């Protein structure tokens, strides 16, 4: 009886956030969160998650093209595990963090490196380089129960059929509960919020005319055409 109720509540919770792309209010990204990237770039391991925001106006559904803004000269792909928040939380412990996850998605965190490099050098916000329209392509909602362990998921990305990224969420520096707990010290996480957990090594520039394809284990694949603005 207790099991049935828990299952029922989980189903309701999943249903509520299945439209995270339509109903969500924030996208929280984490930068430099894969050990293979830290090693490849020979930079120090971050002591705390490097947190940034993307607006929900940057969401893109499969079937629509990625549009490269004409103001940018270099935009890079980043394939990532997305985590969908199911219930409101603030100051949540790592132990309790996963109770607030309703599901996942496969996502791209497209990044205007031209803009970001200049912004970082000048101590300016990352907003424009991370927040442009179509910069957050996402798969459909993957219910919590469909993922046995979010830290054993293979991630891959191809450009025009050639493998460019190949990693595994096992390599995450800050795990899903670490990120949720940390972010919730500062800001309330709300149902339908999305967390982008970071990208494995291999992120690089792409251009108009390219076809980007990516996948996460057996759970999701995505394919997008790239257009100029």
Q: Minimum CB separation from Mg ion for residue 53, in Å?
A: 5
CA distance 71 to 176: 34
Is 41 a residue that touches a second copy (CB under 8 A)?
Answer: no
User: Residue 148: how many CA atoms within 13 Å on its side-chain side?
Assistant: 4
Q: Judged by CB, which is closer to a second copy: 10, or 208?
A: 208
Q: 22: part of which helix (H) or strand (E)?
A: helix 20-23
Contacts to Mg ion from residues 131-190, by CB under 5 A: none
Contacted entry of a second copy, Mg ion, none for residue 109, CB cut-off 5 to 8 Å set by kind: Mg ion
CA distance 131 to 191: 21
Contacts to a second copy from residues 84-143, by CB under 8 A: 90, 119-121, 123-128, 131-133
| Structure tokens given for 88 | 């409101």
| Structure tokens given for 64 | 């629509």
Contacts to Mg ion from residues 83-142, by CB under 5 A: 109, 125-127
Is 44 a residue that touches a second copy (CB under 8 A)?
Answer: no
Which residue do the tokens 């709300």 mark? 190
List % helix, strand, coil for the chain (3-state, nearest 5). Answer: 30, 35, 40
Is 188 a residue that touches a second copy (CB under 8 A)?
Answer: yes
3-11, 95-103, 166-174, 182-190 -> range binding a second copy (CB under 8 A): 182-190
Q: Judged by CB, which is closer to a second copy: 74, or 151?
A: 74
Is 25 a residue that touches a second copy (CB under 8 A)?
Answer: yes
Q: Minimum CB separation from a second copy for residue 134, in Å?
A: 10
Contacts 24+ apart (CB under 8 A), 92-95: 92/180, 92/181, 92/184, 92/189, 93/181, 94/177, 94/178, 94/180, 94/181, 95/177
Task: Indicate the residue whose CB is closest to Mg ion.
Answer: 109
Residues at the contact surface with Mg ion, assessed by CB under 5 A? 52, 78, 109, 125-127, 199
Residues at the contact surface with a second copy, assessed by CB under 8 A? 25-26, 28, 31, 50-58, 69, 71, 90, 119-121, 123-128, 131-133, 185-190
């Amino acid at each position: 009886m207790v099991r049935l109720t828990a299952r029922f509540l989980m189903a309701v919770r999943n249903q509520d956030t299945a439209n995270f792309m339509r109903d969500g209010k924030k996208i929280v990204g984490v930068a430099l969160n894969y050990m293979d990237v830290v090693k490849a770039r020979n930079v120090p391991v971050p002591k705390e998650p490097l947190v940034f925001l993307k607006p929900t106006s940057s969401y893109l559904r499969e079937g629509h093209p990625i549009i490269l803004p004409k103001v940018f000269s270099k935009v890079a792909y980043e394939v990532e595990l997305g985590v969908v928040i199911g219930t409101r939380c603030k100051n949540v412990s790592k132990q309790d963090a996963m109770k607030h996850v309703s599901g996942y998605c496969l996502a791209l965190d497209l990044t205007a490196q031209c803009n970001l490099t200049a912004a970082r050098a000048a101590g300016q916000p990352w907003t424009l380089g991370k927040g442009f329209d179509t910069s957050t392509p996402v798969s459909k909602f993957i219910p919590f129960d469909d993922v046995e362990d979010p830290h054993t998921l293979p991630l891959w990305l191809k450009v025009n059929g050639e493998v460019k990224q190949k990693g595994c969420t096992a390599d995450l520096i800050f795990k899903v509960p670490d990120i949720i707990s940390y972010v919730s010290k500062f800001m309330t996480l709300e149902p339908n919020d999305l967390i982008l957990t970071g990208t494995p090594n291999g992120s690089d520039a792409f251009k108009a005319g390219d076809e980007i394809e990516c996948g996460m284990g057996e759970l999701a694949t995505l394919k997008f055409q790239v257009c100029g603005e």
